[in-house]
Amino acid sequence: MNLKIGIIGYGKMGQIRHKTIMENSCGDVIAISEPALDKTLINVPPNVSIDDIIDNESIKVIIICTPNYLNKLLTIKALKSGKHVFCEKPPAFTAKDIEEIIQVEKAFPELKLMYGFNHRHHDSIMKMKSIVDDKTYGDILWMRGRYGKSVDKDYYHNWRADPKKSGGGILIDQGIHMLDLFLHFAGNFDSVKAEVSNLYWNMPIEDNVFAILKNSESGVIASLHSTMTQWRHLFSIEVFMEKGYMVLNGLITSSMTYGEEVLSIAKNRTKAPAATWRDEEKETFTFNNAWKYEMEHFFNGIRKDLPITIGNSNDALKLMKIIDEIYEK
């Protein structure tokens, strides 16, 4: 019997999740809730109220794709109504919020809760993670991540420019993904130094974040720059290890605004002549399987009663503790 699914929020992300669910036979989306539904869409499930979805006993799974300020509230309501929950990032505004969610989650151990940290599911990132885990090039020494985009004055009218609805600026919008990848590769960070600025857009949210993170136990240091004054979209993550390095430039998206997804890998060479670009092995990824892999992980967890190991509430808590510290700095 197919799982009955409700999607709350049917903008771009809600539509992507619906398409992925259908293409991979995850279940049947029988209702959506979207107050500003695009009238040009066709073959859309019934558009009902949020309460109609949460209170519908036949719906067993709820996908939350709403503006950020609703994520915590709807996650708790859905769990309390006995639904499995998949929620887009950010999971909430603060680590304290996540702790409240975890208390509710513990009261319903039969339910699955997963957050949409989609970047972990890209094939390139999965390959990097496997290399980190099997110690092919030894332990990580340091990491550097840059994630930037260009916005225009229309951003002023976006809910993301309202801190009461977004929870913050470029950090919680984009930088959160890079921080999540740092945690994915290095485990955790207990020291945070950061500068947050708004020199150009003059909105009540930050347009640039510079952060230095350190894991005191392993000594790993990671550097983050998240920006909306890049003037072109850019994604780059570098992982340097004892015996080599990995550099991922670009990210496959539907718009292709971040360019091709190219992973470069090479062994280190400390003696002259130093390593050159020709020493690198390059692999270009041309298709984005991340949406598929992410939904498969969530729905396999439900059907087979498997733990959510990627994007669970503990991952969310570690991440939001760092974001709290960055904003406090």
Per residue in 182-200, pLDDT tens?
999 999 999 999 999 999 9
Q: Tens digit of pLDDT for each residue in 44-96?
A: 999 999 999 999 999 999 999 999 999 999 999 999 999 999 999 999 999 99
Confidence of residue 7 (pLDDT cuts 50, 70, 90): very high
- Cα 10 vs. chain centroid, distance in angstroms? 18
Q: What is the pLDDT, as a whole number, of residue 217?
A: 95
Q: Tens digit of pLDDT for each residue in 242-271?
A: 999 999 999 999 889 999 999 999 988 766
Q: What is the pLDDT, as a whole number, of residue 35?
A: 97
The model carries a pTM of 0.96
| Token pair listed for 309 | 């190991």
CA 223/CA 237 separation, integer angstroms: 10
Q: Tens digit of pLDDT for each residue in 289-298?
A: 999 999 999 9
300-305 contacts at long range (C-beta below 8 A, 24 or more positions apart): 301/112, 301/114, 302/3, 302/60, 302/61, 302/84, 302/112, 303/3
CA 155/CA 148 separation, integer angstroms: 15
| Token pair listed for 78 | 């859905």
Task: Give the DSSP H/E element, type plus range, for residue 136.
Answer: none
Q: Which domains does the chain have, with CATH numbers?
A: 4-117+292-307 (3.40.50.720), 123-251+253-286 (3.30.360.10)
**What amino acid occupies position 31?**
A
